[in-house]
Structure 1
């Protein structure tokens, strides 16, 4: 009886999952598209290439190298395996997921140094400062990565929809405000600060949910002491 009911719930679960994933992808692509039609009017070709290509490539490479392997491994874990409540398995999962942070910091720092060396930039130049600010934005996202992985294992798809939509909207609004209202600001700095706004929303969104709603205890969310045993 229970087996048949589980099989009957699968189409509903798939429909539920598809709905939220589709909405997440639509908003994460649609919001930037709308704002870019306004922003591009205030940018030169060089500025737009910096915004849409160079910084995007840098951030994508850093985040991919820092977290993709952990995401693929942790997403395959079943925290409810063995008929348990999932608390112990969640702590084990987070032990692995938190390893993205030290690795990500190393990769981010190395990536920033490489870009500055490759383009022969002075550390005091505004473009170099923008690279470091983008690196800080990457670290903000990596700080939220363990909780992102946990939320995906718990199928908290609505949380992802809200967090990513708010973060994307925040990045677009920040970019527009800085470019339109502060035309004297270096465009590279404006783009980098908008990425920090995105990373901050992701960070506060996932941390706020798991800390405020007490889905798991702090010892499970931050299982650092358990590494010693």
Structure 2
């Protein structure tokens, strides 16, 4: 009965994580559709230069938030009840980690980002402001825009106690709903300011049209939207806390000491989690510098117009990655951290089976992107951009950007696994690796951008090299992890080193389709050619589904069993 209880709990956790992927995916889909529509509308009003400075402000905001809160978000996943940890054995059912003591400890940790973010934001924004081009400093409302960006950072960090509680309680639905509301409100604010100014105040003709004020208003609208987003999210989280969480009285939203029993020493922070936070923080700094390093490079080596083009590509080109891959990676990271908090062979094997299936899914989707992305993306993108972008190289650059997406996505899932199970020694080892790979990235950027004059294409190829290095490191870690778990050669069929014969067959067909498509049509130029490509994509997808029919059938049977249990 105990083993059955353990299996049921594992199935329940996996089921909740799968539902979490769905909620996060639809939230991302909704948010990206809204921002996609917003960018499509704004791109006809704004120049590449405005998109470039907005991308720079977005970079400042995301950098401060990442350095302030990301390590805490990852570390709080490892909080567990000392009672559960001491009593858990391999044959015992897994204890629910999200108890009152765990939640209160997580809330205490969640105030650390605010302590980091306030001084960090002042230093970083002040430093970057002093190095900005004089043209932007002279724009109307620019100083006000910078102040609003700073306020939005503070309000975002005030959301952290609510975020970590919902994260530990696996409240994906609540989080998705509240974040969607904040996105909608912020997009409405951004577009309304630009639209009202363009149609009510900014006249037509050389004598009446004020281009300088137009750019200042556009930057102000962006800053207002960020402040509205963080404020709306904070209000929504607080309302949810008052109506749903506060009546249960499981925790205090303010920092409070945790005392498990009368004879134990009260504490604010778990020492083990605090030590993990210190180790992971430095590693995440290197990771972020690599992840966001393209923005640092583009700010120093490329023009403002090129920055705008790259911002547009990041929004449109990575749409699929952000909609689909990011929710999967986040749910996988949370699922593995909760599952592997109690050491057992069954837990580890389940985590590896999940990773195998997700890796195969990623590889199949990467094939579709590589075969049909470069040839179809320019034709689709040209309908989304206005005449102000016609003289740029954006349609050529997006073809190269499509080659980058598969590496970005596969690296995401491998690093999600690494972050969930890595020890302090593993994290330190990856930090050293990040230092070396940073040097390789900077060297490749210098060669391709400065020496070979490849501009944005050089930056994208440098990122591909960077992703390959990171995939190799995490792949080696996963392989070593697999060898420790599966010592029996007979169990190889259910391990990470799965027989990928189906993938090989599909890849061969994909290669034939790609070569045929290239020699017959090249880059798609008409709707007829686009339709033929859609038919070929459907055929390749059908082949993938046929080859993996056993896994799909097994998943459908499991879903039916879950429905019967719920009924």
TM-score by length of structure 1 reads 0.87
Q: Name 1:64's counterpart in structure 2.
A: 66
User: Using the alignment, how far apart are the partners of 1:80 and 1:170 within structure 2?
Assistant: 42
Q: Deviation of residue 147 (structure 1)?
A: 1.1
Farther off after superposition, 164-173 or 19-28 = 19-28
**1:192-212 deviations in whole A, cap 9, x for unaligned?**
011111111111121221123
Task: Count matched residues.
Answer: 228
Q: Name 1:188's counterpart in structure 2.
A: 219
* Shift >6 Å, 4+ stretches: 120-125, 225-229
Aligned counterparts, 1:76-87, within 5 A? 76-78=78-80, 82=84, 86-87=99-100
- Secondary structure of the structure 2 residue equivalent to 1:223: coil
Q: Deviation of residue 18 (structure 1)?
A: 1.9
User: Using the alignment, how far apart are the partners of 1:80 and 1:90 within structure 2?
Assistant: 13
Assess, with a 3 A threshold, how the Cα gap between structure 1 residues 151 and 197 changes in structure 2: closer, same or farther: same
Q: 2:104 aligns with which of 86, 91, 94?
A: 91
Q: Name 1:222's counterpart in structure 2.
A: 254
Assess, with a 3 A threshold, how the Cα gap between structure 1 residues 76 and 31 changes in structure 2: closer, same or farther: farther
Aligned counterparts, 1:196-211, within 5 A? 196-211=227-242
Gaps of 5+ in 2: 85-94, 202-213, 259-265, 269-567
Aligned counterparts, 1:39-188, within 5 A? 39-51=42-54, 53-78=55-80, 82=84, 86-119=99-132, 126-183=141-198, 186-188=217-219
Q: Deviation of residue 49 (structure 1)?
A: 1.7
Which is bigger in relative contact order (C-alpha 8 A, separation at least 6)? Answer: 1
Q: Deviation of residue 126 (structure 1)?
A: 2.6
Structure number with bigger Rg: 2
Q: Deviation of residue 10 (structure 1)?
A: 4.2
Contact 1:79–1:153 (CA<8 Å) still a contact in 2? no
Q: Deviation of residue 117 (structure 1)?
A: 1.6
User: Using the alignment, how far apart are the partners of 1:195 and 1:224 within structure 2?
Assistant: 31
Contact 1:90–1:220 (CA<8 Å) still a contact in 2? no
Assess, with a 3 A threshold, how the Cα gap between structure 1 residues 56 and 22 changes in structure 2: closer, same or farther: same
Q: Deviation of residue 50 (structure 1)?
A: 2.1
Assess, with a 3 A threshold, how the Cα gap between structure 1 residues 46 and 215 changes in structure 2: closer, same or farther: farther
Whether 1:5 and 2:8 are equivalent positions in the alignment is yes
User: Using the alignment, how far apart are the partners of 1:11 and 1:219 within structure 2?
Assistant: 26
User: Using the alignment, how far apart are the partners of 1:50 and 1:35 within structure 2?
Assistant: 17
Give the RMSD, CA atoms, in angstroms. Answer: 2.8
Q: Deviation of residue 125 (structure 1)?
A: 6.4
Q: Deviation of residue 139 (structure 1)?
A: 0.7
Contact 1:163–1:205 (CA<8 Å) still a contact in 2? yes
Assess, with a 3 A threshold, how the Cα gap between structure 1 residues 157 and 170 changes in structure 2: closer, same or farther: same
Contact 1:137–1:196 (CA<8 Å) still a contact in 2? yes
Q: Deviation of residue 225 (structure 1)?
A: 7.0
Assess, with a 3 A threshold, how the Cα gap between structure 1 residues 218 and 133 changes in structure 2: closer, same or farther: farther
Aligned counterparts, 1:8-23, within 5 A? 8-23=11-26
Q: Deviation of residue 81 (structure 1)?
A: 6.6
TM-score by length of structure 2 reads 0.37
User: Using the alignment, how far apart are the partners of 1:107 and 1:134 within structure 2?
Assistant: 13
